[in-house]
């Protein structure tokens, strides 16, 4: 992968978060500032995804989770949704070989039933082809909403209780985590949101219970390795106590 110049304040000896989650926000505003349609911003946002995935692998992050398309995004104008679906197709077709060659393992979380059949096939193929890669675990949240994820987990647990497979007394946090879409993944250490908005928008609500939050003013199409390294430098200076007193 292409090496990029490091952020001046970033130290290679700084603690690197094992799992970084990013809410990629600001494509529309970025395009509007340039007098362009929102689709122009989404296309630029794909380039930012490429840069950040490369940087995360180079830095040594083990897990990178990107909020690509929420359940609420289906409410956007049909023309914009169609354009986003087209970009998703292009990304999966063009980038899969490069991601696979560079040791990136792809996992997709969210409700795939709303995607057209060809996209579902592309998602399945991406996961299958990269299943044994170990350099970076890239999770893409598509048609994803944390409340829906938790609701589905509760439904699955309730069915097991009903069928006598699981005793209600045995339902604990570990059992719930095993039924989430992120089962087997560590919780995010660091959550970054671009564009300056300070909310998590129904993203990884359970998993981010003890994550460090960083809200960066930069719009997503301008996000690059320097912003990621600056966020990690900020993260490294924080004291994580997980509710305890040190």
Q: What is the pLDDT along the chain (246 residues), one digit of tens a residue?
A: 344 444 555 566 668 999 999 999 999 999 999 999 999 999 999 999 999 999 999 999 999 999 999 999 999 999 999 999 999 999 999 999 999 999 999 999 999 999 999 999 999 999 999 999 999 999 999 999 999 999 999 999 999 999 999 999 999 999 999 999 999 999 999 999 999 999 999 999 999 999 999 999 999 999 999 999 999 999 999 876 666 555
Matching CATH number, 19-145+187-236, of 3.40.30.10, 1.10.240.10, 3.40.1180.10, 3.40.50.150: 3.40.1180.10
Q: Dig out the tokens for 178 from the structure.
A: 């095993």
Distance separating the N- and C-terminal Cα atoms of the chain: 40
pLDDT at res. 239: 76
Burial 50-68 (b: 16+ CB within 10 A, else e): bbbbbbbbbbebbbbbbbb
Helices (H), 10-77: 27-33, 38-59
Dihedral angle computed from the Cα positions of residues 86, 88, 93 and 99, in that order, rounded to the nearest 10 degrees: 160
Catalytic residues: 25, 73
Global confidence as pTM:
0.92
């Amino acid at each position: 992968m292409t090496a990029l110049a490091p952020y001046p304040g970033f130290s290679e000896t700084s603690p690197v978060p094992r799992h970084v989650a990013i809410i990629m926000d600001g494509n529309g505003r970025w395009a509007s500032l340039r007098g362009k349609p929102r689709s122009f911003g989404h296309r630029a946002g794909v380039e930012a995804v490429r840069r950040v995935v490369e940087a995360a692998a180079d830095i040594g992050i083990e897990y990178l989770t990107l909020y690509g398309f929420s359940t609420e995004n289906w409410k956007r104008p049909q023309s914009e949704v169609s354009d986003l679906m087209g970009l998703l197709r292009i990304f999966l077709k063009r980038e899969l070989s490069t991601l696979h060659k560079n040791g990136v393992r792809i996992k997709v979380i969210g409700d795939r039933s709303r995607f057209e059949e060809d996209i579902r096939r592309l998602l399945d193929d991406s996961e299958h082809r990269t299943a044994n890669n170990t350099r970076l675990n890239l999770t893409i949240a598509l048609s994803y909403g944390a409340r829906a994820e938790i609701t589905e987990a509760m439904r699955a647990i309730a069915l097991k209780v009903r069928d006598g497979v699981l005793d209600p007394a045995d339902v604990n946090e570990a059992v719930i985590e095993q039924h989430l879409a992120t089962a087997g993944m560590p919780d995010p250490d660091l959550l970054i949101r671009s564009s300056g908005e300070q909310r998590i928008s129904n993203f990884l609500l359970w998993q981010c219970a003890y994550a460090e939050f960083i809200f960066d003013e930069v719009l997503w199409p301008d996000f690059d390795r320097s912003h990621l390294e600056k966020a990690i430098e900020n993260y490294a200076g924080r004291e994580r106590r997980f509710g305890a007193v040190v």
